[in-house]
Structure 1
Amino acid sequence: MWISKNCLLPTWVLASVVAADAFIPVSGLHRNSKSIASNFLPLSTTGSCRLKSIETSGKDEDSFAEEIPRGGSSVLKDKPPALPTWKDYRKFAIPCLALWVANPLLSLVDTSFVGLSAGAAESATQLAALGPATTFFDGATYLFAFLNVATTNLYSSAIAQKGEASDQAEAVVTTASRVALRCGIGIMLFLWAFARPLLALYIGTYRIVLYCIGFYSLLDSAVAYVKIRAFSLPTSLLLGVLQSALLGAKDSVTPLIAILYSTVVNLIGDFLLVKIFGMGLRGAAIATLVAQLAATAALLGPARKRLVRDGSLRLWKKKTIVTANGDDSVVGGKAFLGFAAPVLTLILGKLAAFGFMTHSAAAVPGQPTSLACHQILLSLFFFVSPFMEVISQTAQTFIPPYLAPVTDYLGFVVATVVASLASLIPAYFGGILTSDTVVTNSVKPLAKYLWAGAFLTAPVAVAEGILLARRELKFLAGVYL
């Protein structure tokens, strides 16, 4: 039973403290170590015992799959590289967090502008259309997230083996850029051709018609939103792989600057098109489209200077590389395909879960209130998820050169804090996302489920990051089958 409003806030704070305390070992709070990994390593600093990966037998090294390099050098040195310190993690993770939060924040801004700019009745209808549209579009984009995962891992491995200014590292960037642009053009044309029937199937036409007389109006708005956003897909996928390459190079500041441009453009666009000109969903879609184009334009120049020596990404024609020693280890398209099937299985498993939730929300009586509540909760959940995903990204970036242990309770601490803060919004401050009091009251009891979902995302994100860094792709894919 939902606790009374006066008692909820202190109860929430107490629950958060208890949850955090349950996962933080006392020794972890008092240990004055220079690095996370030192919590798990013996005091000796010799090369044979500094890393768990080096302590393993030679047969463990031989068991590593050769199709996709696992990072680092195939020949272990007497002295492994120094382990990253807390400062190294902070310098990378904090800008990376802002980078991960940016896109969900843009969706949350769209939700807020659309929900508050219309009247009470129209607000619920607009939010009901925005929910399936954003989930469907983000899902279509998410299918190509394997490009980002592959780029970060392969680029980290290439610079660990050959150095940043090497043909191998540049080949990862140019191949990823070329594949991303072509995939973006393909999915853009696909959405333009099939957005309407797929959205109708995604929402569940036969159920909506029974509960919502304005179904076709809702569908028209959602289709228009998706088609406008589809124009950004080629540059959006290109932006993703360039960001991933820079993150693989442990540069999280340059992508952050580009995202700041995007955020400013999106805020101005939403204010003008949605608030001032009253364009509703179409205005929100145009604002987000222009914002993504601005981010790509801002990142393209610095990325070309940093990642490729001749400044050319070779988006249409592959560069022929002939090494002096006959080394044929330059990364090509096949290396990216090695990530495709396992990572796509992971992604499709997640998309299926969110798709079923949206379909179920559309089947609940009392539309469009139910879909509007679903959109608010989903936007908040996607906003919270990056706080855990940044730990996954940090693991993927730092682990390839050497297998460093990671603090096992860090994700739970982050999850406890952000889950508590995010779930307070539907519980107390729903009015900042919609002007419809019915939606505000309906979403309030769902806050506890948002807290649970966000909190349980932490161990999943941390485990995924380590498994992806170790290239345990088959095992990871099997989890989502």
Structure 2
Amino acid sequence: MKFSGPAIGLWICGPLMSLIDTVVIGQGSSLELAALGPATVLCDYLSYVFMFLSIATSNMVATSLAKQDKDEVQHQISILLFVGLTCGVAMLFFTRLLGAWALTAFTGPQNVHMIPAANSYVQIRGLAWPAVLVGWVAQSASLGMKDSWGPLKALAVASAVNGIGDIVLCTFLGYGIAGAAWATMVSQVIAGYMMIEALNNKGYNAYAISVPSPSELMEIFMLAAPVFVTMMSKVAFYALIVYFATSMGTHTVAAHQVMSQLYSMFAVFGEPLSQTAQSFMPELMYGVNRSLVKARALLKSLLIIGALSGLILGSTGAFVPLVFPKMFSPDPLVITEMRRVLIPFFFALCITSCVHSLEGTLLAGRDLKFISLSMCGCFSLAALFLMLVSSRGYGLPGCWCALIVFQWSRFIMALRRLLSPDGILYSEDLTPHRMEKLRAA
């Protein structure tokens, strides 16, 4: 609880920033609220593609700390900071050169009226890409050192800056969606700087950047590739839902923007369960005092907590737009569309915490090949269902039913894998799950 409690804040801050943007912009313009849908796909969902940096950093730093080799920890932080900075600069240029093209291709010709507002948001937010990815590496290094308070302080300050900036720039100065983008961008730069300073305070030089060797790049790739495939599947599916919702008109995509931001906000409460599994399971699976019985007991506890928290989160998440819809938009057409998806919203959200517990355990056991392959399978199944319900004219509720299929199929496949006699919680043979074998695979 001491470790995962502050970690909740780490996961909340990102969706909270976008939710603040949604609430503030929704009070002024339904068009700008709708434009946030495709804009946040490029700004927020696309950032999850680089989650492999976070996983690789935590894993490599924690492994080196176990060897008590501080020099190796410093070197790994330096090369990962280089990778993060390189990816951030590449994304900055992508946004500047191809942002408008990507938005136009995504929204389609029938929604060309959204492009100017969406592109304004994307171009401003894109300036923070290097700071965002470098900050992620620094944050993950701190988590690998079992410090969740330092990153939490940085993100708490960033969230406060974002909230105040939104109110001042949008409500009082009337800058609209551009003002929200500036507030979020500045807050992300501040967060990145504070993450680096938190790492420096632990005795490491977070300003030292080293170019990785080909072998070091291969090591990062072997660890990150399955995670990359997993995150790409998630991002692609969420983006696919936004794509189909965008084709249904301005009011529908505005409603979906509100509900998807609420979903993201409440879903992240399950992420600390995944982080807890990744932090405590390896010792029980591979440590000196290895005990698969205790590992199974820990997973049972995580699932019970996940089920209870899922019911609470699902009920609370559905209650807010049902009772306080005008907090997000005064438009009655947007409110009607929001209320149409409350039931599938609940069923998709209530299982999310359990999914995080199971997938965190699989990550801890380095069953990465299964995670990536199963995620691709779940994506394919849910995408086919999404295309079917969209072609039959089921509207936004059909899109959210596809999310139910996606989430529950992930839950069923991960649970079956962990309960299998050959799974990582029952098999005494560690060979299939060692990194050497994964590299060969």
Q: Secondary structure of the residue that 2:2 maps to in structure 1?
A: helix
Alpha-carbon RMSD across the aligned residues, in angstroms, is 1.7
Aligned equivalent of 1:141? 47
Which residue type is aligned with residue 147 of structure 2?
D
Shift in Å, 1:337: 0.9
Aligned equivalent of 1:12? none
Q: Unaligned regions of 5+ residues in structure 2, if any?
A: 286-293, 377-441
Q: Secondary structure of the residue that 1:434 maps to in structure 2?
A: coil
Aligned equivalent of 2:161? 265
Which residue type is aligned with residue 340 of structure 1?
A
1:398 equivalenced with 2:258 (yes/no): no
Q: Partners of 2:226 and 2:203 in 1: how far apart? A: 27
1:95 equivalenced with 2:9 (yes/no): no
Q: Partners of 1:389 and 1:470 in 2: how far apart? A: 17
Q: 1:432 to 1:399 in 2, by over 3 A?
A: same
Q: Partners of 2:116 and 2:360 in 1: how far apart? A: 39
1:192 equivalenced with 2:76 (yes/no): no
Structure-2-length-normalised TM-score:
0.79
Aligned equivalent of 1:379? 261
Q: Deviations over 1:226-246 (max 9, x none)?
A: 111111010100111111111
Q: Unaligned regions of 5+ residues in structure 1, if any?
A: 1-89, 210-214, 321-330
Which residue type is aligned with residue 9 of structure 2?
A
Report runs of 4+ in structure 1 exceeding 3 Å deviation.
none
Aligned equivalent of 1:175? 79
Q: Deviations over 1:137-191 (max 9, x none)?
A: 212211111000111122222212x12x522222222222111011100111112
Aligned equivalent of 1:113? 24
Q: Secondary structure of the residue that 2:209 maps to in structure 1?
A: coil
Aligned equivalent of 1:341? 225
Q: Which of 315, 325, 337 pairs up with 2:209?
A: 315
Q: Partners of 1:398 and 1:248 in 2: how far apart? A: 12
Which residue type is aligned with residue 242 of structure 2?
T
Q: Partners of 1:249 and 1:145 in 2: how far apart? A: 18
Which residue type is aligned with residue 189 of structure 1?
F
Richer in helix (by share):
2
Q: Which of 341, 352, 371 pairs up with 2:236?
A: 352
Aligned equivalent of 1:10? none
Rg (Cα) greater in structure: 1
Structure-1-length-normalised TM-score:
0.72
Shift in Å, 1:475: 0.9
Q: Identity, % of aligned pairs?
A: 31
- How is 1:40-119 mapped onto 2 (pairs within 5 angstroms)? 90-116=1-27, 118=28
Q: Partners of 1:446 and 1:306 in 2: how far apart? A: 47
Q: Partners of 1:448 and 1:135 in 2: how far apart? A: 24
Task: Answer whether contact 1:396 1:468 (CA < 8 A) is retained.
Answer: yes
Aligned equivalent of 2:181? 285
Q: Secondary structure of the residue that 1:435 maps to in structure 2?
A: coil
Shift in Å, 1:451: 0.9
1:300 equivalenced with 2:184 (yes/no): no
Shift in Å, 1:402: 3.6
Task: Answer whether contact 1:152 1:397 (CA < 8 A) is retained.
Answer: no
Shift in Å, 1:317: 5.0
1:446 equivalenced with 2:344 (yes/no): no
- How is 1:104-253 mapped onto 2 (pairs within 5 angstroms)? 104-116=15-27, 118=28, 123-160=29-66, 162-163=67-68, 166-205=70-109, 209=110, 215-253=111-149
Shift in Å, 1:438: 2.0
Aligned equivalent of 2:398? none
Q: Secondary structure of the residue that 1:239 maps to in structure 2?
A: helix
Higher RCO (Cα < 8 Å, 6 or more apart): 1
Aligned equivalent of 2:356? 461
Q: Secondary structure of the residue that 1:339 maps to in structure 2?
A: helix
Which residue type is aligned with residue 410 of structure 1?
I
Q: Secondary structure of the residue that 1:344 maps to in structure 2?
A: helix
Q: Partners of 2:203 and 2:54 in 1: how far apart? A: 15
Shift in Å, 1:202: 1.5
Q: 1:170 to 1:374 in 2, by over 3 A?
A: same
Q: Partners of 2:99 and 2:268 in 1: how far apart? A: 28
